[in-house]
Amino acid sequence: MISGEGPRPEYPRPRLRRPDWINLNGEWEFGAGSRPAFDRHIVVPFCAESQLSGIGEIPGDVVWYRRRFDAPKAERLALHFGAVDYRATVWVNDRELARHEGGHTPFSVDVTEALRARDNVLVVRAEDTLEDKTVPRGKQFWGRRPEGIFYTPTTGIWQTVWLEPLPARHIRALRINPDLAAGAVGFELDADGRAELDASLDGEVVGRWSGVSGRGRIGLERVVPWHPGSPRLYELEARLLDPEGKTVDRVQTYLGLRAVETRDGRFWLNGEPFVQRLVLDQGYFPGGLLTAPDDDSLRRDIELAKSLGFNGARKHQ
């Protein structure tokens, strides 16, 4: 059950990956105003101000989205939003299930109890008052035409919307803390029951752990530091087990081993002085504004910066 079709088909949460997911990006019904209105269409996840949305204009302070979906077979179903600027309210089949405030942070909701097998109706209301300067806005301008150092505002959904089928018992979160000096990876696994974790480098398992979910530590047989000139990454897989030892849930993530500090007026990376040559990256893209058209566009920015001699980026948001 993998759906990576349509706009932004890339897996939306690389730091906690599962094989099954459904992409809800694409054409949605759309409208603006204080009351629900769906008299236009928009291409999600691009904001209405962007050309790639199919609208290309500031829509107003309150916007509405609607689309239908069939529910996959699953014990639980989570609905994820990568980002909605600025205040969001979510309904499924006329049941309000979530409210969220914050235009740059993801949020999720368990929609299982509101589902029917087919033709579920998802509605999202987003409010982003253009002239409200108390709302964190980064480089977004508060007028209808950008001026000076500010750019076109972003209203509503601007990151991927997706569904994730889950087992009743599943891994809720996995937090990791790489420790270069100790050659180990600390972790905290939020789940109920026993679990197994494997750390791999270049396809070879270099560390294992098993026990009751919670805090733990994996010692690594091979210790390879991460560096901008050699960005080596470890893969980490966590498996949640049932009482018989069978895997009921599995997630994957990645990590780099590095140590960062400042002392003696200098920046140090992995125990050595490191001169940062950082490009100022505003994070806007032709056509999509805050939303990159695809992962290749993000990769191109990094490759262009490296080709010009930069070894990092300062994100200006």
Task: Give tens-digit pLDDT for 249-263.
Answer: 999 999 999 999 999
Which of 114, 145, 166 marks a domain boundary?
A: 166
Please check whether residues 250 and 264 belong to one and the same domain: no
Residues 245 and 107 in one domain: no
DSSP 112: G
Cα Rg of the chain, angstroms: 22
Whether residues 40 and 148 fall in one domain: yes
29 and 129 assigned to the same domain: yes
Predicted confidence band at 21 (pLDDT cuts at 50, 70, 90)? very high
* Domains contained in the chain, number: 3
Query: 15: Cβ–Cβ under 8 A, 6 or more apart, which residues?
Result: 253, 254
The answer to whether residue 3 scores a pLDDT higher than 70 is no
Does residue 12 sit in the same domain as residue 158? Answer: yes
What's the pLDDT score for residue 145? 83
**Per residue in 202-235, pLDDT tens?**
999 999 999 999 999 999 999 999 999 999 999 9
**Boundary-marking domain end, from 100, 132, 166:** 166
Looking at the fold, whether 65 and 122 belong to one and the same domain comes out as yes
Q: How remote is the C-alpha of 127 from its chain's centroid?
A: 21
Query: For 20-24, what is the mean pLDDT?
Result: 97
Averaged pLDDT for residues 69-88? 97
Nearest to 206 by CA among 179, 183, 238, 172: 183
Same domain, 188 and 300: no
Angle among Cα 23, 28, 32 to the nearest 5 degrees reads 135
- The one-letter amino acid code at 10 reads E
Residue 271's pLDDT band (boundaries 50, 70, 90)? Answer: very high
Query: Last residue of some domain: 166, 199, 223?
Result: 166
- Range of 278's domain? 260-315
My answer on whether 224 and 266 are in the same domain is no
CATH of the domain at 115: 2.60.120.260
pTM given for the model? 0.94
Is 61 a residue whose pLDDT tops 70? yes
Which residue intervals of 187-257 are DSSP H helices? none
Does one domain contain both 7 and 150? yes
Same domain, 138 and 52: yes
Burial class of residue 149 (count of CB atoms within 10 Å of its CB; 0-12, 13-18, 19+): exposed
Q: Which residues have C-beta within 8 Å of that of residue 228, sequence separation ≥ 6?
A: 311, 312
Average pLDDT, the chain: 94
